[in-house]
């Protein structure tokens, strides 16, 4: 049987099972779920706007050392971009890693690997609103 998206039902079920499609269908918006193998909490979403892969990331922000350890372990790292009512994962390449180290402007997450131990973490990057006086202090 073919769905209203023009895809066979078996393909829709498979994409939903692997986390590539949800109720909102395929998109950049990430969602929290559990790994179907180890049941650990993970974030799942597409990692780019074009030619995207399904990204499965551990929701623990990394320090620069943690990102280096993840890369040495062969894990991809993702920048977590939050804004406008949605969150997205963006794959990081060597240029982004060198230009904006982890835990500076946004959180960096490692790809999920079942059974992997924790990596060196960093505090969550938050934007604080600083109250401004109504009159300048001079």
Task: Kindly give, in sequence order, each residue whose CB lies less than 8 Å from that of residue 103, ignoring residues fewer than 6 positions away.
Answer: 61, 62, 63, 64, 122, 123, 125
Q: Running DSSP on this structure, what letter comes out for residue 100?
A: S
Are residues 92 and 102 in contact, defined by beta-carbon separation less than 8 angstroms? Answer: no
Report the pLDDT averaged over residues 11-27. 65
Residue matched to tokens 């074009």 = 50
* Backbone Cα Rg of the chain: 18
pLDDT band at 56 (very low <50, low <70, confident <90, very high): very high
Are residues 89 and 55 in contact, defined by beta-carbon separation less than 8 angstroms? Answer: yes
> Could you tell me what percent of the chain has a pLDDT over 70?
77
Lowest mean pLDDT, pick from 18-32, 63-77, 95-109: 18-32
pLDDT higher for 50 or 42?
42
- Select from 31, 23, 85 the least CA-distant residue to 55: 31
pLDDT in tens, 77-135: 999 998 877 889 999 999 999 999 888 888 999 999 998 888 888 765 555 555 666 77
């Amino acid at each position: 049987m073919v769905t209203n998206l023009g895809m066979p039902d078996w393909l829709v079920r498979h994409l939903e099972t692997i986390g590539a499609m949800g109720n909102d269908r395929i998109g950049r918006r990430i969602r929290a779920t559990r790994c179907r193998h180890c049941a650990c909490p993970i974030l799942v979403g597409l990692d780019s706007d074009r030619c995207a892969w399904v990204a499965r990331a551990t929701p623990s922000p990394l320090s620069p050392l943690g990102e280096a350890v993840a890369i040495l372990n062969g894990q991809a790292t993702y920048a977590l971009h939050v804004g406008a009512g949605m969150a997205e994962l963006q794959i990081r390449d060597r240029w982004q890693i060198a230009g904006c180290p982890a835990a500076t402007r946004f959180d960096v997450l490692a790809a999920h690997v079942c059974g992997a131990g924790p990596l060196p973490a960093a505090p969550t990057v938050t934007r604080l609103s600083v109250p401004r006086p109504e009159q300048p202090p001079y």
